[in-house]
Amino acid sequence: MGVINAKPFDFALDPAKAALIVIDMQRDFIEPGGFGESLGNDVARLGAIVPTVGRLIAGFREARVPVIHTKECHRPDLSDCPPAKRERGNPGARIGDAGAMGRILIAGEPGTEIIDELAPTATEIVIEKPGKGAFYATELTEVLERLGITQLVFAGVTTEVCVQTTMREANDRGYEVLLAEDATESYFPQFKAATLEMIRAQGAIVGWTATTDQVVEALRG
Ligand code: C5J
């Protein structure tokens, strides 16, 4: 058990009951020329956290604590992509359309893959999720129950969308959740800052935040 001097108060990390969830570190969100950039976003902001996320993953692997990855993606026939999601706004390209790295956010397409630098190992679990939250329409609950996990550390993108949604889903399901604040990023700095505040407000109403160094140190005991 390693006690992290987290915000808004200490978090006792139990490696026997913890997992790292790395949200959507996918080529189409992070690499230049992908879907994220086509929506007008500065993807360099997201690319900048890759080494930190890598350090966090390495810390969990070294401690032999599970690392679970997620990918936001849909079936090729889009049967799991509601029109309300696909037809939102007026982007140049939509989910399922041909993009620079294959069909956008479709399972199996190159742009949907996790970036090479953070690729899952052969034994790590990858959850394919059609929604923003990783619990919706996935096997994540069963995976966590099977592994006896009650604490979740989060990293990935984007802070206020898929990361925050999944943290809230997890909190509602009774998990203790902590966000590694330097291993997550948003296209909008003000949204990241607000999300960190929201998560830990009112006595950790959603959960805790701490730095990658603090989490890795706690894992080492
Ligand atoms: C978004 C995500 N931003 N992974 N996806 O649509 O946060």
Question: What local confidence, expressed as pLDDT, does residue 95 receive?
Answer: 95
Q: What's the CA-to-centroid distance between 81 and ligand 1, angstroms? A: 14
| 28 in catalytic set | no
* Sign (positive or negative) of CA dihedral 139, 143, 149, 154: negative
| 24 in catalytic set | yes
Q: What's the CA-to-centroid distance between 68 and ligand 1, angstroms? A: 17
First to last CA, the chain: 7
Question: What local confidence, expressed as pLDDT, does residue 221 receive?
Answer: 85
Check pocket membership of 134 for ligand 1, CB cut-off 6 A.
no
Kindly give the number of the ligand 1 atom that is closest to the alpha carbon of 162. Answer: 7
If you take atom 2 of ligand 1, which residue's CA is the nearest one? 162
Q: What's the CA-to-centroid distance between 146 and ligand 1, angstroms? A: 27
Catalytic residue among 7, 71, 129, 192: 129
pTM over 0.85: yes
Q: Kindly list the averaged pLDDT for each block of 10 residues, start to end, along the chain of length 221.
A: 96 98 98 92 97 98 98 98 92 91 97 98 98 98 98 98 98 98 98 98 98 98 85
Question: What local confidence, expressed as pLDDT, does residue 64 receive?
Answer: 98
Report the alpha-carbon distance of residue 209 to residue 94 in Å, rounded. 33
Q: 154: which strand partners? A: 21, 179
Report the alpha-carbon distance of residue 134 to residue 125 in Å, rounded. 13
Q: What's the CA-to-centroid distance between 213 and ligand 1, angstroms? A: 25
Secondary structure element (H or E) that encloses residue 202, with its range: helix 189-204
Q: What are phi and psi of 204, to 5 degrees?
A: 65, 55
Residue 153: count other Cβ atoms within 10 Å of its Cβ.
30
Burial of 146 per CB tally in 10 Å (0-12, 13-18, 19+)? exposed
Check pocket membership of 158 for ligand 1, CB cut-off 6 A.
yes
